[in-house]
């Protein structure tokens, strides 16, 4: 490649890369890169079924549902951490209001942050050790009667 053409090509590629990140276009924003699986929440005599995207790696968990503008009513995202611990989430770059459900290593819901504020940079603590975090559309927990003490299960949570 000529000495004149090389800087032009590099600048062009840099612009494409910057534009992709600025629009969220190069990052996972449509769910196609994450695998999905069924998940159930067992409450007082009721079982609620969802299809969740599974975020396992640090980049997947970091990205989460950022830049998503819609999600089906029976869908969500399950975040899996290596160990149980205090968790802190936020809504930066997330236009969807969400219910953030913190789940311990045994699958028991330990806390729910309902109806979170889109785009907020305020941290949302788990308040108790959690190994899993489930994000659903805002209001889903209240509508379905999902509460602290209910149990959550999926193949990823049971090692399947």
Q: Are 95 and 67 in contact (CB under 8 A)?
A: yes
On whether residue 160 sits in a domain, the answer given is: no
Residues 25 and 51 in one domain: no
Condensed to tens digits (0 to 9), the pLDDT of residues 81-120 reads 999 999 999 999 999 999 999 999 999 999 999 999 999 9
Residues 52 and 114 in one domain: yes
Condensed to tens digits (0 to 9), the pLDDT of residues 20-48 reads 333 343 344 444 579 999 999 998 889 99
Residues 7 and 74 in one domain: no
Residues 13 and 77 in one domain: no
pTM for the model = 0.80
Burial class (CB in 10 A: 0-12, 13-18, 19+), 151: middle
User: What is the pLDDT at residue 62?
Assistant: 92
Residues 12 and 43 in one domain: no
Give the residue among 24, 150, 9, 4 at the shortest CA–CA distance from 95: 24
- The confidence band for 3, taking pLDDT boundaries of 50, 70 and 90, is low
Q: How many CB atoms lie within 10 A of CB 23?
A: 11
On whether residue 159 sits in a domain, the answer given is: no
Residues 8 and 66 in one domain: no
User: What is the pLDDT at residue 16?
Assistant: 38
Residues 60 and 101 in one domain: yes
On whether residue 12 sits in a domain, the answer given is: yes
Q: Which two tokens stand for residue 119?
A: 């785009």
| Residue-range definition of the domain harbouring residue 53 | 32-154
Residues 18 and 62 in one domain: no
Number of domains observed in the structure of the chain: 2
Residues 15 and 92 in one domain: no
């Amino acid at each position: 490649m000529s000495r004149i053409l090389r800087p032009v090509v590099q600048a062009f590629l840099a612009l494409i890369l910057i534009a992709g990140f600025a629009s969220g276009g190069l990052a996972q924003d449509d769910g196609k890169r994450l695998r999905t699986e069924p998940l159930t929440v067992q409450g007082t005599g009721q079982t609620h079924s969802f299809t969740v995207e599974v975020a396992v790696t640090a980049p997947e968990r970091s990205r989460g549902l950022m830049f998503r503008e819609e999600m089906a009513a029976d869908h969500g995202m399950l975040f899996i951490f290596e160990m149980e611990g205090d968790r802190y989430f936020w809504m930066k770059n997330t236009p969807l209001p969400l219910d953030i459900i913190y789940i311990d290593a045994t699958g028991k819901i330990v806390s729910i942050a309902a109806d979170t504020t889109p785009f907020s940079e305020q941290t949302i603590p788990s308040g108790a050790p959690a190994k899993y975090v489930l994000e659903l559309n805002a209001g889903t927990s209240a509508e379905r009667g999902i509460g602290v003490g209910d149990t959550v299960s999926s193949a990823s949570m049971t090692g399947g």
